Structure 1
Amino acid sequence: MSAATTPVESPWRRALADLADGWRQRELWGHLGWQDIRQRYRRSLLGPIWITISMAVTAVALGILYAGLFGNPLAEQLPYILVGFIVWGFIAGCINEGSEVFIANEGLIKHLPSPISVHVYRLVWRQILFFAHNLIVYAVMLIVFPQPLTWMSLAAIPGFLLLMLNGVWIALLAGIVSTRFRDLTPITQSIVQLMFFMTPIVWIYEDFLNSPNPAIAERARWAELNPFLHFLEIVRAPMLGADQNLRHWVVVLAITVVGWVLALTVMRRYRARVAYWV
């Protein structure tokens, strides 16, 4: 077929092909993700276990503090905060590092011909490894403070898969936009830090929702507008053996669909410009 009659590949097809080609290079981004962690903790005696220790110490300190402030039993408050920290660490990591995923990989993007999605998969894989390390603390917590786990607790697995799926589109979208507008990276990180306090991680949402004070209960319902609440609960609730609410899953699924459409739209238009912007 001559060059004049060669069909032109649509931008949508190129965007989807980038994701598919990046996924097929699992050996590359999988190795790079491992190397990121090894490099960060090179010459450290405990290595990545420092991630777990740091998170555990912070969660235990806050658990003791807020259990006293709210008058809750430590066996209730501490597991709630601990699992919240584990899940939030994954969410915040995907957003914060996603906003600079292409900027941080400028050298590879310019000198290594590979799909840009490789760098996003590498980021999410690295966050999965951090999450896996933190599960060590979760296992210890189950020994000290046993939870009423059932077969329904396995819902945490599809819940975490949804977090991973959202982590990819968030990193793609935030990475492309922040590469073009560099001021968005510190803004994004500040928003994530603010949302930590507005999301029920250290405070128990149901306590305020069931408050005998109608004014407090009414204000607590506004937390439903916080999308992070729903992402947190689809994983935390089953990990604690708590009852699950369908509305959390519905909201997360809706955000997943809308987010992917938005990310693919941005990727379709600006994917090729990333190499020039970094």
Structure 2
Amino acid sequence: MQVTSAIDIPGTPVVHSGRSWARAAKDIRDGIAARELWGHLGWQDIKQRYRRSVIGPLWITMSMGVTAAGLGFLYSQLFGIEVTTFLPYLTVGFVVWGFIIGCLSEGSDTFMANEGLIKHLPAPLTVYALRTVWRQTLMLAHNLLVYVVVLALFFTSLTTAGYTLSPGGAPQPGLNWSVLMAIPAFALLALNGGWVTLLFGIISTRYRDIPQVINALTQLLFYITPIVWPVDILTTKLGPGDWKHLVLELNPLYHFIQILRAPLIGTTQSWHHWAVVGAITVVGWGFALLAMRNYRSRVSYWV
């Protein structure tokens, strides 16, 4: 039974009723169509976070810049790597990592954080998921300013064909027109952010331990993902075909980072990364639609 009494009786949860594929798909379509709503809410999140701050959202950029510069110079000395090529590698890795982990951690809290709106605003659940993804996109856009500065400083090194990320590493083609591949790469990344936010958001409203599990695993995932260390180090130290390479390939975050980082810094683009990300996208959205079909109507009560 569809309940729309939230408009008539304040405090009554808005029930997104109906357990069917059609209604789940309609919720997603209507949510995407309400771009003015989730776009405005996402902007307001950024403004509210830096309310009464002198430089506002530029703190996002400054924080990323300081972190990338500090760790870039440190790890380049530890690994004996040229900072002119390693710093761009690390910077883009941090930028993409921030977006992915933001969608995971904040996505799992997305419906709980919007409890008041869900109970009083008759809007598709997808609106709140897109609000989170849009907020992460805005933060990524701010962080990309650091990439632009780093690119300007080390443009010559990145455009030199045959440069390496580590001593003895594979020669890279250098920055060229393939940088345009970053556009579909980010579109694919944002598309995955949508299903991650929907799926984990629904699960987390029922099982409140999920966000804590994700936060606990974040640090481990960071160190086993090639962000502050180049993949070439595994090849030069362990040799090709080692089982540790298989562990790396089984890390889905590695593939997501690589499809966007490779074109932005002019490294070799392997199409198997795109294939893995594409497969995860299809499977992920399948699970998200299943969760929307079965549990969409219960979210307003679970929150």
> Are 1:45 and 2:45 matched, yes or no?
no
Query: Is the 8 Å Cα contact of residues 205 and 220 (structure 1) preserved in structure 2?
Result: no
Query: Is the 8 Å Cα contact of residues 60 and 142 (structure 2) preserved in structure 1?
Result: yes
Alignment partner, residue 60 of structure 1: 69
Cα-Cα RMSD? 1.6
Alignment partner, residue 175 of structure 1: 201
Give 5+ residue unaligned stretches, structure 1: 1-8
State how far apart, in whole Å, the 1-side matches of 2:248 and 2:121 are. 44
- Deviating beyond 3 angstroms after TM superposition, the runs of 4 or more aligned structure 1 residues are 213-218
The alignment partner of 2:128 has SS state of helix
The AA in structure 1 aligned to 2:30 is D
Alpha-carbon shift at residue 216 of structure 1 (Å):
9.5
Q: What are the within-5 Å matches in structure 2 for residues 59-208 of structure 1?
A: 59-146=68-155, 147-148=158-159, 149-208=175-234
Alignment partner, residue 22 of structure 1: 31
Alpha-carbon shift at residue 55 of structure 1 (Å):
1.0
Give 5+ residue unaligned stretches, structure 2: 1-17, 160-174
Alpha-carbon shift at residue 188 of structure 1 (Å):
1.2
Alignment partner, residue 5 of structure 1: none
Out of 279, 282, 295, the residue aligned to residue 257 of structure 1 is 282
Name the one with the larger helix percent. 1
Alignment partner, residue 243 of structure 1: 268
Alpha-carbon shift at residue 153 of structure 1 (Å):
1.2
Out of 178, 201, 210, the residue aligned to residue 236 of structure 2 is 210
State how far apart, in whole Å, the 2-side matches of 1:274 and 1:192 are. 26
State how far apart, in whole Å, the 2-side matches of 1:101 and 1:75 are. 39
The alignment partner of 1:210 has SS state of helix
The alignment partner of 1:87 has SS state of helix
- TM-score, normalised with respect to structure 2: 0.86
Aligned length: 270
The AA in structure 1 aligned to 2:201 is G
Out of 222, 226, 241, the residue aligned to residue 247 of structure 2 is 222
> Relative to structure 2, which stretch is displaced further, 201-210 or 265-274?
201-210
State how far apart, in whole Å, the 2-side matches of 1:10 and 1:219 are. 44
> Are 1:272 and 2:302 matched, yes or no?
no
